[in-house]
Amino acid sequence: MEAPSAFVDRLRPAGGKRSSKRDLIVNVFLRQEGHLSADDLVDVLRREGHKSSRATVYRTLQWMADAGIARKVDFGDGRTRFEHSYRHPRHFHLICKGCNRSSEFLSSDVEALIEEIADVRGFAIGQSVVQIYGRCDECRTGRRRAAGEVPVERLFARDALRIAIQTERSGLDFYSRAARITKDARGRRVFRKLAAEEQEHLGKLEARYAELLAEDPELESRPTFLFFKGAASGLFAAGAEELDKGADDRQALRIGIRCERGSHRFFKRYGERFEDSEGKRIFLEFADEEREHLELLIREYRSLAARQSRARSKAKARAHRADT
Amino acid sequence: MEAPSAFVDRLRPAGGKRSSKRDLIVNVFLRQEGHLSADDLVDVLRREGHKSSRATVYRTLQWMADAGIARKVDFGDGRTRFEHSYRHPRHFHLICKGCNRSSEFLSSDVEALIEEIADVRGFAIGQSVVQIYGRCDECRTGRRRAAGEVPVERLFARDALRIAIQTERSGLDFYSRAARITKDARGRRVFRKLAAEEQEHLGKLEARYAELLAEDPELESRPTFLFFKGAASGLFAAGAEELDKGADDRQALRIGIRCERGSHRFFKRYGERFEDSEGKRIFLEFADEEREHLELLIREYRSLAARQSRARSKAKARAHRADT
DNA sequence: CTAGGTGCAAATAATTTGCAGAGGC
DNA sequence: GCCTCTGCAAATTATTTGCACCTAG
């Protein structure tokens, strides 16, 4: 788990001079949750007994944004706010016009659509902003929610693990079914092997999930942060359904390839964005595993296709000999 | 087709006083395309030989935003811009950091996801902002695109009609297939009737599309404005595929219900947002037609289920009598 | 010693406001 | 005549800059 100071050092641009004032401002900033305006940060500094001129705070904030330590956010109220990126992945915002608070979410599906749209328009994406303005649950119902803040990093890890577990479960189910219906002995062996791997990995993920909840009991009840329909509605689950409708060996492999490809993409994308090193490792390992599965399935598909084509030409040759 | 003056009158708040200055500013503003800052508008007014103080322009812009004649847009460059809503539906933005121009798009899919996310979080949506920052095609490749501006309203109408036509086509295909495979005579008649209706409607839509293209030949080549995967990847097309995998009469009805529901939602949402009254009418009529289909299918499904259940209990009774 | 970094005050930039006068109902 | 709208100038707000001074490398 990377420390804040290491995080800053990693991003600090080379050649610059250190200064105790800047270090101080950066450290105070990194300790804050949520979105701060320059003035908010000056106030926090004052409250902690440090005096800094506004200009320096503005300059430091700009420096942090350039370095990637902070991100600008603009909620359209005339002042620029900043959030730090230490253990805090890029995300989208729900902004309540009642209480002026904002809550964060991520949606793999929205991101995928945005990428697709940009692609069709020949647009190279830098960064995208999704802001949903409205009234939050609390403001509408008057009910108070659990007040304790859970760092976004944990919510991210929680949801990512939930999705991974769901994916493994339905992957396991998919490969078991596929093994059952596959006629080709070699293909069957491949599916069995993949099922076994999913089973083993599932155990690991569940252990990690239990550990995460043990660290913070509040975590389980927090609302969803990471939305991913591809997993929720079930990439593999949809695949399994297709199998049930009667697929032959080749189709089964093809469906498996599609599922693994989607799953690999998802875990790669979010693994890369993960700040917590434990979760990041798990995710990238998962992505790698899925890629291996994917490659195995593709090899197997090619092999099966080749064998079938050989079988066909042999049959044709036989038929031809019979003709003449 | 509503005139600009009628549009303003419809939205003008009651009780206010008219003034020739305000009317002038509003009229000039409505003639502009794209996103104007207050200063841009002052410049346009100056260029047309009218002088107005900045304060008045700011006040008028604010008045228009309150009245719903204008919408604020903020691209994070420190100044607020405005776009008018006359024949201009709400939309999302692609913003090029190279040339500072923005292009607009709509995505039913993104909207649906946003609604779903807000719903899960108990958040009442007011308005949502989706901005994709990056570099546009022209800036990256250096190639120049056709320069003539096509009003968004037309692109919207074009894409909506394309989607409607696609939907009708695959709906027609779906119902023809369903009629072919349905064993129950009554159910078959329902599917035939729906197929005939889709056929007729398709003709109307194609005529309207041809008319639209005739009005503006540049229209056809412009990039997609309205993205809707539900239609593109084919709500009904997916349904038809399911039919082919062997569906019984009830399943066929159920698939039809799902398709009509998705289609109805889509056309209702965009029909309501459509400003051009001709297109709006087509869309809402379409939505109504889809709702009628939906209701017909639901009735038919219930009727079939009831008949099947009666048949089953009769069979059981017969079996029971044979037993004793 | 010298390129950055800091503080203060003044400058900008976008937008809003106070107030006196003009004009629609 | 009253109440709203307009114009001008001054005020406000968020942010940036000039410049003298300071400090780490």
- Copy the structure tokens of residue B24: 């002038």
pLDDT higher for B69 or A231? Answer: B69
pLDDT band at B246, cuts 50/70/90?
confident
Q: Under an 8 A CB cutoff, do B117 and A227 touch?
A: yes
The pLDDT of residue B203: 94
What letter does residue A89 receive in the DSSP assignment? Answer: -
Local confidence band at A317 (pLDDT 50, 70, 90 cut-offs): confident
Q: How far apart are CA B77 and CA A178, in angstroms?
A: 55
**Interface mutation vs chain A, best among B104, B120, B123, most A CBs within 10 Å:** B123
pLDDT single digits (tens) A235-282: 888 889 888 887 889 899 999 999 999 889 888 988 888 777 677 888
Q: What is the CA radius of gyration of chain B?
A: 26
Model confidence band, residue B14 (pLDDT cutoffs 50, 70, 90): confident
CA–centroid distance for A67 within its chain: 23
Q: Quickly list DSSP for B142-160.
A: -PPPP-----HHHHHHHHH
Nearest Cα residue to B167 out of B227, B226, B232: B232
Sheet of B36-37, strand order: B36-37, B81-84, B70-73
Residue of A105, A133, A137 with shortest CB distance to B122: A137
**Could you tell me how many CB contacts below 8 A there are between chain A and chain B?**
133
Chain A interface residues facing chain B, Cβ-Cβ under 8 Å? 72, 74, 76, 94, 96-97, 103, 105, 107, 109-110, 113-114, 116-118, 120-137, 140-141, 223-224, 227, 229, 245-246
This prediction has a pTM of: 0.88
Give me chain B's average pLDDT, please.
89
Cβ atoms A72, A81 nearer than 8 A:
yes
Residues A4 and A16: beta-carbon distance below 8 Å: no
Q: Which of A109, A114, A133 sits opposite B132 (nearest CB)?
A: A114
Q: Are B101 and B136 in contact (CB under 8 A)?
A: yes
Q: Is the dihedral of CA B57, B60, B61, B62 positive or negative?
A: positive
Residue A44: exposure state from Cβ atoms within 10 A (0-12, 13-18, ≥19):
middle
Give the count of alpha carbons within 13 A of A129, CB side only: 21
Closest residue by Cα to the C1' atom of nucleotide C8?
Answer: A53
Q: Three-state DSSP class for A12?
A: coil
- Contact between B8 and B64 (Cβ < 8 Å): no
Tell me the CA distances in angstroms from A140 to A93, A134, A137, B125, B159, one per residue in order: 18, 10, 5, 12, 37
Is residue B105 within 8 Å of residue B225, measured between CB atoms? yes
Which of A257, A270, A272, A118 shows the shortest CA–CA distance to A174? Answer: A257
B32 touches strand C (CB under 7 A): no
* Average of per-residue pLDDT across A106-119: 95
Region of A293 (left: φ > 0; alpha: ψ -120 to 50; beta: rest) is alpha
Q: How far apart are CA A247 and CA A156, in angstroms?
A: 36
Nearest Cα to Cα of residue B58 among B82, B76, B74, B78: B82
Mean pLDDT of B165-170: 89
Would the CB atoms of A224 and B107 count as touching at under 8 Å? no
- DSSP of A25-74: HHHHHHH--S-EEHHHHHHHHHHTT----HHHHHHHHHHHHHHTSEEEE-
Phi and psi (nearest 5°) for B20? Answer: -65, -35
Question: Look-up: residue for tokens 């600090």?
Answer: A12
CA A249 to chain centre: 32
Inter-chain residue contact A109 with B113, CB threshold 8 Å: yes
What is the model's pLDDT at position B278? Answer: 67
Are B121 and A96 a contacting pair at CB < 8 A?
Answer: no
Evaluated on CA atoms A143, A146, A149, A150, the torsion sign reads negative
DSSP per position, A188-247: HHHHHHHHHHHHHHHHHHHHHHHHHHHH-GGGGGSPP-EE-HIIIIIHHHHHHHHHHTT-
pLDDT in tens, B76-125: 999 999 999 998 989 999 999 999 999 999 998 999 999 999 999 999 99
Residue with the two structure tokens 């062997």: B246
* Closest nucleotide to B15: CA versus each C1': D4
Q: What is the pLDDT of residue B318?
A: 82
Q: What is the pLDDT of residue B231?
A: 58
- Does residue B49 approach strand D to less than 7 Å at its CB? no
Measure A80 CA to C13 C1' (Å): 15
Residues of B in contact with A74 (CB under 8 A): 74, 76
Of B107, B167, B102, residue with least CA distance to B134:
B102
CB contact under 8 A, B132 and A118: yes
In this structure, the strands spanning A36-37 and A81-84 are antiparallel
Using a CB-CB distance cutoff of 8 angstroms, which residues of chain A are in contact with residue B102? none
Is the shortest CB-to-strand distance from B51 to strand D under 7 Å?
Answer: yes
A73 touches strand D (CB under 7 A): no
Structural tokens at position A225: 């942060």
Residues 6+ apart with CB under 8 A from A24: A45, A50, A52
Q: Give percent of chain B above pLDDT 90.
A: 54
Burial (CB < 10 A; 0-12, 13-18, 19+), residue B243, is buried
Does position B150 have pLDDT exceeding 90, yes or no?
Answer: no
Which residues of chain B does A232 touch, with a Cβ-Cβ cutoff of 8 Å? none
Average pLDDT over residues B18-30: 92
Query: Tokens in use for A137?
Result: 């649950």
CA distances (Å), origin A185, targets A182, A292, B206: 8, 21, 53
What's residue A231's pLDDT? 62
Residue range B42-82, pLDDT digits in tens: 999 999 999 999 999 999 999 999 999 999 999 999 999 99
- The predicted pLDDT at position B144 comes to 79
Query: What tens digit of pLDDT does each residue of A41-73 get?
Result: 999 999 999 999 999 999 999 999 999 999 999
Nearest to B250 by CA among B320, B191, B162: B191
Strand C closer than 7 A to residue A176 Cβ: no
- Closest nucleotide (C1' vs CA) to A53 is C7
